[in-house]
């Protein structure tokens, strides 16, 4: 990845006096996951694939069932070490004068991060006490803390408020990497993406299709096999935002 060391003061408005170092990746991007998903479904249907919405995948007649049910992937009759973890995104009210070139900013030490979305900022951070479980309600008790962090790190946003917030579920595995590969008779897993699955999805989709259709894939999927947990060959990812 073209990640460079930079002087954090290159970000206009950022309070960087307490920052010892920074890195920046100019090719990072953002995308709209629901729009992308809809487009993938549209193209699949256009290719003649039988798309059945609002159908429980467990009831389908099939040769192979790909378990790709996110936080619900543990419901497929095979013991997968996947736990739901609630995480939320907060969006500020519009802030005047946000520079177009404001990059996504992550405090590596705290995990607090924000990025521009139109004329608002989207803020996120891991909870001090992880919210394990399927409860997707928004916890408003963190709003004041997140706004204070935002004002400290990015003073042009001081005084703003949270206009909306929503929560979703991470599907966490013990090492925060996905489980990809056969997991039972006629069952193949592609789940447990632990909060960073959207960015991995193009590569994973291609690799899983190759593996299922041709018995091997151009990407080595073996590090993601289910057996890594019983074999003790996990490789924990620590940078989960």
Ligand X SMILES: Cc1cc2nc3c(=O)[nH]c(=O)nc-3n(C[C@H](O)[C@H](O)[C@H](O)COP(=O)(O)OP(=O)(O)OC[C@H]3O[C@@H](n4cnc5c(N)ncnc54)[C@H](O)[C@@H]3O)c2cc1C
- By the criterion CB under 6 A, which residues form the site for ligand X? 56-58, 68-70, 72, 87, 89, 168-170, 191, 193, 195-199
Close Cβ partners of 163 (under 8 Å, ≥ 6 residues apart): 91, 92, 93, 94, 120
Choice between 89 and 102, CB closer to ligand X: 89
Q: Which residue is nearest to ligand X (CB)?
A: 70
Q: How far is the CB of 20 from ligand X (least distance, A)?
A: 25
- Measured from the CB of residue 96, what is the shortest distance to ligand X in angstroms? 26
Min separation Cβ 193 and ligand X, Å: 4
How far is residue 162's CA from residue 120's CA, in Å, rounded to a whole number? 10
Q: Which of 130, 134, 132, 104 is nearest to 117 (CA)?
A: 104
Is residue 106 within 8 A of residue 186, CB to CB? The reply is no
| Shortest Å, Cβ 98 to ligand X | 19
Between residues 156 and 177, which has the closer beta carbon with respect to ligand X? 177
Which tokens in the block code for residue 102?
């404001």
Closest CB to ligand X among residues 144, 199: 199
Nearer to ligand X by Cβ, of 87 and 116: the residue is 87
The smaller minimum CB distance to ligand X, of residues 156 and 170, is found at 170
Q: Which residue has the tokens 């190759």?
A: 210
Cα 104 to chain center, whole Å?
15
Helix (H, G, I), strand (E, B) or coil at 116: strand
Structure tokens at 184: 């039972």
State phi, psi for 154 to the nearest 5 degrees: -135, 80
Nearer to ligand X, 89 or 219 (CB): 89
The sheet that has 65-67: what strands, in order across it? Answer: 65-67, 187-191, 179-184
Question: CA end-to-end span of the chain, whole Å?
Answer: 18
User: What's the min distance (Å) between Cβ of 232 and ligand X?
Assistant: 25
Give least dist CB 170 to ligand X, A.
6
- Pairwise CA distance, residues 125 & 102, whole Å: 19
Strands 131-132 and 105-106: unpaired
Rounded least distance, CB 208 to ligand X, Å: 11
Q: Which is nearer to ligand X, 76 or 154 (CB)?
A: 76
């Amino acid at each position: 990845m073209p990640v460079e060391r930079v002087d954090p003061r290159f970000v206009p408005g950022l309070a960087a006096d307490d920052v010892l170092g920074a890195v920046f990746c100019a090719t990072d991007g953002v995308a709209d996951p629901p729009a992308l998903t809809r487009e993938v479904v549209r193209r699949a249907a256009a290719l003649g694939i039988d798309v059945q919405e609002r159908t429980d995948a467990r009831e389908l007649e099939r040769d192979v069932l790909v378990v790709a049910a996110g936080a619900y992937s543990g419901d497929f009759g095979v013991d997968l070490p996947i736990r739901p973890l609630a995480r939320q995104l907060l969006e500020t009210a519009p802030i005047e004068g946000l520079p177009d070139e404001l990059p996504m900013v992550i405090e590596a030490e705290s995990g607090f991060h924000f990025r521009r979305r139109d004329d608002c900022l989207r803020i996120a951070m891991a909870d001090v006490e992880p919210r394990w479980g399927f409860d997707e309600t928004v916890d408003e008790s963190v709003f004041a803390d997140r706004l204070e962090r935002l004002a400290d790190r990015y003073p042009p946003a001081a005084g703003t408020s949270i206009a909306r917030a929503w929560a979703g579920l991470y599907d966490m595995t013990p090492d925060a990497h996905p489980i990809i590969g056969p997991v039972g008779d006629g069952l193949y897993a592609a789940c447990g993406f632990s909060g960073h699955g959207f960015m991995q999805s193009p590569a994973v989709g291609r690799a899983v299709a190759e593996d299922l259709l041709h018995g091997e894939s151009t990407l080595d999927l073996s590090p993601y096999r289910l057996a890594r947990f019983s074999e003790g060959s996990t490789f924990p990812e620590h940078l989960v935002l």
